Each structure stands twice: as C-alpha cells, then as structure tokens.
Structure 1
Amino acid sequence: MSTTTSNMQDLLVSAQDLSLRYGSKTALERATFNIPKGRVIGLLGHNGAGKTSLMKALVGLLPAEGQLQVLGLSPRQQRGALLEQLCYIPDVAVLPRWARVDELMCLMSGLQPRFSAERARTLLKRTSVGEKDKIKNLSKGMVTQVHLALIAAIDARLMILDEPTLGLDVLSRKNFYEMLIDEWCDGERTVLISTHQVEEVETLLSDVMMLDEGRLVLNISLEDMDKRFIALSHDPATAEAIASAHPLLRYRQQGGRSAAIFDGAPPADIAALGERIRPSLVDLFMALTRNPALQAKNA
C-alpha cells in the first residue's frame, strides 16, 4: 500500500514511526503505513502481536508515540469529530441484553448524527432478526448481525473490526462477511479487519498487514503479494537442494507433497526443481511471523 504524492488526498490513515507502550512493554514498534480509501484490509498477527493496541490507537483509545492521523484528524485530540466518520466494533463488544432492536436504533439515532435508522432496517431485512426482538432472546450470531447492521448504518468512511466473528459458527461468519462486503464496501469506504480466520477472509481482502511481536512485517496488496512471493511445489528428492536456497518457509501441502516459499524469485536452477504455485495467505503468515505458543513449547 505504498502511496505517492498524487493520491495523498485518498489516504484515510497515515502513520509514521508509530509506537505503543505499556510501561516497559512495547506493543507496537515504529510502524509506518498508509491506509487509502476503498480497501478491505486484513490485520493479521498471533495473540499479543499488537493488533488490538493498534486499533485502539486508531480510534483514540490509546496514546501513541510518533505521528498518526486518521481521516485527517488526531485520534486523541479530535476524537469527537473522528468518531462521527469512523465506526468501530472491538473484540469485547456487547449489546445490552434488556434492549429491543428498535430501542437500540432509537438510541443510535440520538448518539450518532450520521446514523440512518432507515438504512439499519434495510440491513436487518438480510437477517432473521425483527425490530421488536430483544437482544437476550437472540443467538450469538444474530446479535453479531444486529451489531453490524447498526454500525453499517452509519455514514462513515472507515470501519475498524477487531475479531468481529469471534465464537461464531461457520455459517454465521459467512453471513456476517457477506453482509459487510455487499452492504458497506462501495469502493470509497475502507474496512480494517483483525481476525484469526485467515482462510475465510483471504478472498475478501484487497490488502494485508501483518504484525509480529509489535513489528509491522508486511504491508502489501494481495496483487503485489502474488507477484513478490513465490512458492515451489517439489518432490522430496529435491528437498535438500531447495533448502540450500534458504526459502522463508518449507511445508507440506495436502496430499503430502513438499513446498517452499521464497521472497522474490529463486535462482533459475532452483526454480527448475519444482512447480510454481500460489502461496496461501496462511502459509505466508506462518513464514513471516513466529508463533509464541510454539516458541514456548520448544524453548
């Protein structure tokens, strides 16, 4: 997601040397990135990598070192104005169980000047939830659908979602993302999604940002990712030769065939030993990040 001077006006987020610290603990270390309009960006990282901290900084909930502008505003100093143009669902988001759906729409109309109750009703028609339903009587998947309908009914430019489908079954997650893409993404608005369900969102994304222990290790469009990273599927007999070229990751494909991922084109003699395939986002994630749980286990 590199940005030239000519399209600076399209930027929704601009961060330069952004750092976040909790006392002596560093959650984010000197991250520099831009987020333009009209994108669907996956924010990936293991637990503790800094994803939630970064999202909280973007909405003004955490102070950060460095330079940060969101929608042309300072998230901390101009948070009221920012939240009129930005919507956010944190990973601990809840709706009051005692409330009816129509009561929540009334509440949103009073709190958020860019909220459209008519738009929320249209979005709810995509679900099995009625306006008179109480939150306490809905399944977790239905509550998540209501939450998205309320948030997507805000005429915002940027939506930030922190593990929005956590704990939902496969069908509920599919319905959530279909509603998000169909009803909110319009080529102008941008969505930043933090999720562990990498396989499920890969086809929805235009870009990916990867965090590894507070460091931004990848910030790229999926189109450029496919050009930059090359995977070779190969026979076990050539494994030693492939390994000598120092790939980012060696792994087993389904069916038992070996594969390796390279950052850039491998030497021609190495490339001739295998068949080029597209590396999945999951495999690339494993190649560029470390799993803290596995590190602790192997220590």
Structure 2
Amino acid sequence: MANIIQARNLHKRYGKAPALTDVNLTIEQGEIVGVVGTNGAGKSTLLKSILGLTSATGELTVCGLNPRQQQAKLMEKVSFIADTATLPKWITPAQLFEYSQKVHPNFDIKLAEQFLAKTNIKPDMRVKHMSKGMVTQLHLAIVIAINSELLVLDEPTLGLDVIRRKSFYNSLLEDYFDDNNTIVITTHQIEEVEHILTRVVFIDNGQVLLDVQMQDFAEQFVQLTTHASNQSQVELLSPIYTNKVLEGIAHIFDLKNSDTTLEQIQQFGQTKTPSLADIFVALIEGKTQSSTTQQEVTYA
C-alpha cells in the first residue's frame, strides 16, 4: 500500500509552548485512523500541519506532496470537514453543488445529488432553515462527491444527537470509503468510532502515546477485575492503571510492553478486552498515578 501521510520528527511550538514534539507517523492507503487526545493535546495542530494550514519542522509528505509548498495541488486530493465548518445561510444545496462543480476538478455533482436524495434535505432548501444535523449531512454530501485520496474529519459530529452521529458514520462507510480512500478522524466520542477504525493514535502534550492497529489491540491490552484482597499480588504484575469499580478493583495491563502473561493475570479474576476509552484514560491518568507513587517513595 502507498503511504498517504508520512511524518518524521515533527516539532511545532506556539511561543514557548510545545504543540508537537518528535511526532513520527505513517498512514497508508485504505486505513481509517482515529486521532484521540484531550483539548490542547496537539491533534488539531497535527491536522493543520497535514493540510498545510500551519508549518512544523521535520519531514512531512501528504499524498506525495509538501503540504506547505504545494497546498493548492494537495487540496485537489484531500477533503476536509472541520468542527467549525460553516456555510452561507442563504445558499441552497443545488447552488452549493453547482459552485463546487465549477471550483473543484474532482467533484461529481450526480453523486452529491444521489446522497442528498436519501436525506430530508430538499435541493432548494436554504442553509438557514436547516438543523445542525442537516448541515452536517450537506457537508458529507460534498465530501462523498469528491474523488479524494484522503478525508480529514475534525470532530465532524460535534453537537449532533446519537442517532445523527451513528447515521453519519454509517453513511461514511457505505457511500465513501473503499480501499482507495484513507480517513483520519479526530473525536472526543471514542466509543462511537471504535467500530470503524482500523487504527488508533493517542496524543497527549504534543506526543504520540499510542499507535496501534485495532486488530492487535485485544492482544496488547487486557483488563482484570479482582477482589481488593488480591491487590498486593496483582500490583507485582505491573498494571499500567488501577481503579475501583462496582465489582471490585480493575487493573489494566499492557502485555506488549511488559513480561506479564495473560495466564498470570487470569488466576486473579475475570479478564476482558478494555475499550479505547478505558485505555486512553489509563495512559493519561496512569502517568499521574506513577508520578504520585514516585513522590510517595521519594518523600517517605
């Protein structure tokens, strides 16, 4: 597969504050990659770098092009929906499609009209009379109609209800995605995209915390639920995160980066594959737990 995005040693600062620190990332054709991070973690800066909207030091190619030096050419190969995307209140879908056909060489107006026909949006309906869900569907109609190599979605369903969010991602898979497309999604609603991702990247403080293929996720991470009486023995197996749950104590383990085996863990209770949200919390808050433990040892 061809490399759609290749980043090496990306660094970006805003004044004295680091936004990206030594980011290395390769995304291949046909992947659906979720980029997950808290507010200010660096994911938006990474997307802006990919789109050529900001500069970062290091090496970066997107669709074989330099985003900053060849942005106009890059935009012929990339589609983008931002969380702050807006449309003129007076415009109708018919007018928007006609305009898009004139300005974008890869826009197929028939595909846009076919998608719109499956919604409740009428071609002569003005944007000012549409709900937020309708506007999001209209954006998706435009994206689906563009023959692009890369689709970048920055919190695309922010503010939508659960039904509209589910519909959006279903349409994305059914009407847009195939082995020739690549999708990069940033979102806070990890649970809603978990089932469509082929890969996930966690970012915190401008650094990549985790980059894992979803097919390998279940083999790398395991969650153990056990009784509090087993706490001291389980801690010897080096869990990356521990918290209380209704059933007792939950411990999360990273089997790839430790000498602990699944068999050792299973003797203490029930195990299961944690969710992406569980692992994200474990990696972010686990650093705090480790720091607290070190301070307790230092000052004891």
Give the TM-score, by structure 1 length. 0.90
Map 1:228-243 → 2, pairs under 5 A: 228-243=220-235
Which of the numbers 233, 248, 251 marks the counterpart of 1:260? 251
**One of 48, 67, 73 as aligned partner of 1:75:** 67
- For 1:201 and 1:21, locate their aligned partners in 2 and report how far apart those are by CA, in whole Å: 30
Match of 1:150 in 2: 142
- 1:109 and 2:118 equivalent? no
The counterpart of 2:217, out of the listed 209, 218, 225, is 225
Please say if residues 211 and 289 of structure 1, whose CA atoms lie closer than 8 Å, have aligned partners that are also in contact: no
SS in 1 for 2:195: helix
In the alignment, the residues of structure 1 paired with residue 16 and residue 154 of structure 2 have an alpha-carbon distance, to the nearest angstrom, of 25
Q: Partner letter of residue 283 of structure 2?
A: L
SS at match of 2:185: strand
Q: Secondary structure at the match of 1:69?
A: strand
Instruction: Find the residue that maps to 1:204 and give its secondary structure.
Output: coil
Is the Cα contact below 8 Å between 2:10 and 2:24 reproduced in 1?
yes
How far apart, in 1, do the equivalents of 2:110 and 2:230 lie?
A: 62
2:25 is equivalent to residue 30 of structure 1: no
Query: Structure 1: any 5+ residue segments left out of the alignment?
Result: 1-6, 293-299
Write the distance in 1 (CA, Å) between the matches of 2:264 and 2:157.
45
Counterpart in the other structure of 1:52: 44
Return the letter of the residue paired with 2:159.
G
CA contact (8 A) 1:250 1:259 kept: yes
Match for residue 151 of structure 2? 159
Please give the residue correspondences for 1:124-139 in structure 2 after superposition, counting only pairs within 5 Å.
124-139=116-131
Number of matched pairs: 283
**Counterparts in 2 of 1:291 and 1:91: CA distance versus 1, 3 Å:** farther
Higher mean C-alpha deviation, range 123-132 or range 203-212: 123-132
* Cα distance in 2 for residues equivalent to 1:120 and 1:192: 21
Q: Distance in 1 between matches of 2:235 and 2:192?
A: 30
- Give the secondary-structure state (helix, strand or coil) at the position aligned to 1:289: helix
Alignment gaps of 5+ in structure 2 = 288-300
The aligned counterpart of 1:296 is none
Return the alpha-carbon distance in structure 2 between the equivalents of residues 33 and 21 of structure 1.
Answer: 18
Give the TM-score normalised by the residue count of structure 2. Answer: 0.90
Opposite residue 158 of structure 1, the aligned amino acid is: L
What's the secondary structure of 2:12's corresponding residue? strand
Q: 2:280 aligns with which of 285, 293, 296?
A: 285
Q: Distance in 1 between matches of 2:89 and 2:230?
A: 59
- The secondary structure found in structure 2 opposite 1:182 is helix
Q: Match of 2:243, SS?
A: strand
Structure 2 counterpart of 1:236, one-letter code: A
Q: Aligned to 1:203, what secondary structure does the other structure show? A: coil
Instruction: Within 5 Å, give how 1:165-184 maps onto structure 2.
Output: 165-184=157-176
Distance apart, 1:107 and its partner CA: 1.1
1:246, distance to aligned residue in structure 2 (A): 2.4
Q: Retained in 2: the 8 A contact 1:241–1:270?
A: no
Q: Is the 8 A contact 1:109 1:117 kept in 2?
A: yes
Secondary structure of residue in 2 paired with 1:276 = strand
**Conserved in 2, the CA contact under 8 Å of 1:212 and 1:290?**
no
Paired amino acid for 1:141: G
Whether contact under 8 Å (2:240, 2:286) holds in the other structure is: no
For 2:70 and 2:126, how far apart are their aligned partners in 1? 35
Instruction: Say which SS state the counterpart of residue 21 (structure 2) adopts.
Output: strand
- 1:206–1:173 Cα change, 3 Å: same
What SS does the aligned partner of 1:87 have? strand
The 8 Å contact of residues 158 and 190 in structure 1, kept in 2 or not, is answered as yes
Shift of 1:269: 4.0
CA contact (8 A) 1:46 1:291 kept: no
